[in-house]
């Protein structure tokens, strides 16, 4: 099935809403997480504001995509356009999640490839920092399968051992 990244939108709202209980809502991200009760238009506007760099407060601009397999919402991906000190030390450029029932189908690997392409074409980034927990074998494979090279392993903000990968983005 074809995997693609789309901005949150009404066309796929029901699929997203039906997946709500399969999404981790800890560490709610503006424009990436719906609060479960507000109007979709507010959520869509937050996503657009994040992409456009409006009303960010202490946040950096980010494009928050839904990962779609056909017309089914299977996950989400946040691509930060730049890094602040916190992201440089803990979060990196890319964060993603696949809903529980859609895991182990290759969606995240395909979505990461699309994210790398987006970062090259739309953001003109030369490299990406991507992080994951040291014991998160699926994410390690996803990052490495998309060209990630381990840069360092160190404790994160909660003292959990994490891996920090660099993906060099060549211009083609």
Predicted confidence at residue 4, as pLDDT, reads 97
Predicted confidence at residue 90, as pLDDT, reads 82
Predicted confidence at residue 98, as pLDDT, reads 92
Predicted confidence at residue 30, as pLDDT, reads 54
Strand order, beta sheet including 72-80? 3-6, 62-69, 72-80, 94-98
Q: At what angle do helices 137-145 and 107-121 cross, to 10 degrees?
A: 40
Predicted confidence at residue 53, as pLDDT, reads 86
| The model's pTM | 0.88
pLDDT < 70 regions, the chain:
25-36, 171-172
Which residues 6+ apart lie within 8 Å of 153 measured at CB? 134, 161, 162, 163, 164
Predicted confidence at residue 103, as pLDDT, reads 92
Predicted confidence at residue 33, as pLDDT, reads 60
Predicted confidence at residue 164, as pLDDT, reads 79
Q: What would the pLDDT profile of 140-157 be if each residue is shown by its tens digit?
A: 999 999 988 888 888 877
> Which numeric CATH code is attached to 3-168?
3.40.630.30
Predicted confidence at residue 51, as pLDDT, reads 92
Predicted confidence at residue 56, as pLDDT, reads 80
Both tokens of residue 74?
Answer: 């299977």
Predicted confidence at residue 66, as pLDDT, reads 94
């Amino acid at each position: 099935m074809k995997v693609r990244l789309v901005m949150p939108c009404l066309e796929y709202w029901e699929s997203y809403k039906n997946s709500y209980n399969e999404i981790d809502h800890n560490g709610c991200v503006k424009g990436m997480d719906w609060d479960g009760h507000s109007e979709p238009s507010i959520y869509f506007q937050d996503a657009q504001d994040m992409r456009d760099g409006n009303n960010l407060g202490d946040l950096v601009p980010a494009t928050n995509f839904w990962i779609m397999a056909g017309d089914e919402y299977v996950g989400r991906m946040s691509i930060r356009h730049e890094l602040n000190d916190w992201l440089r030390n803990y979060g990196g450029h890319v964060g993603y999640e696949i809903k529980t029932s859609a895991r182990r189908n290759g969606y995240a690997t395909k979505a990461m490839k699309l994210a790398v392409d987006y970062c090259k074409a739309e953001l003109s980034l030369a490299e990406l920092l991507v992080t994951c927990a040291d014991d998160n074998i699926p994410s390690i494979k996803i990052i490495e399968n998309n060209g990630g090279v381990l840069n360092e392993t160190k404790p994160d903000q909660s003292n959990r051992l994490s891996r920090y990968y660099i993906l060099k983005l060549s211009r083609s």
